[in-house]
């Protein structure tokens, strides 16, 4: 069994002796390619809006660094994610199986969008 490991989540799949992909049917949609020789992972669309922070850029661990001057839509797998602003402020947030974000209630003064697909950093 092979694994795709993301922060706080592990997704298992297997490659048969003839090179075909298998995985649990509950992962269908997050993965595609069962029965083929190509595995594709599909995240859920999550918009991150850091335009009010005044920061030049932001990074999402394992995904990339992006300009912060406009809202950004990324496709993220359901798991915990770390967002870092240019000045090194960091925030952890989770994406659930519906593409909705959640975060520690202690961050309510800085983040908004809990229960939606848009995370806004103030």
At residue 3, the pLDDT reads: 47
pLDDT of residue 4 exceeding 60: no
- Which structural domains are found in the chain, ordered by start? 2-41 (no CATH), 44-121 (2.60.40)
Q: How far is residue 24's CA from residue 35's CA, in Å, rounded to a whole number?
A: 12
Pairing of strands 90-95, 111-112: unpaired
Nearest to 91 by CA among 101, 81, 100, 79: 81
The stretch 10-24 carries a mean pLDDT of 91
Q: Give percent above pLDDT 70 in the chain.
A: 93
Lowest mean pLDDT among 26-40, 45-59, 60-74, 84-98: 26-40
Q: Against a cut of 0.85, is the pTM above it?
A: no
Confidence of residue 26 (pLDDT cuts 50, 70, 90): confident
């Amino acid at each position: 069994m092979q694994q795709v490991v993301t922060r706080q989540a592990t997704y298992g799949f297997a490659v048969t002796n003839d090179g075909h992909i298998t995985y649990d049917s509950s992962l269908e949609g997050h993965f595609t390619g069962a029965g083929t020789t190509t595995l594709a992972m599909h995240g859920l669309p999550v918009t991150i809006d850091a335009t009010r922070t005044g920061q030049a850029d932001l990074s999402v661990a394992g995904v990339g660094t992006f300009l912060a001057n406009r809202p950004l839509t990324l496709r993220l797998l359901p798991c915990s994610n770390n967002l870092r602003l240019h000045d090194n402020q960091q925030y952890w947030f989770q994406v659930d199986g519906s593409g909705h974000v959640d975060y520690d209630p202690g961050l309510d003064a800085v983040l908004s969008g809990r229960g939606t697909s848009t995370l806004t950093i103030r």
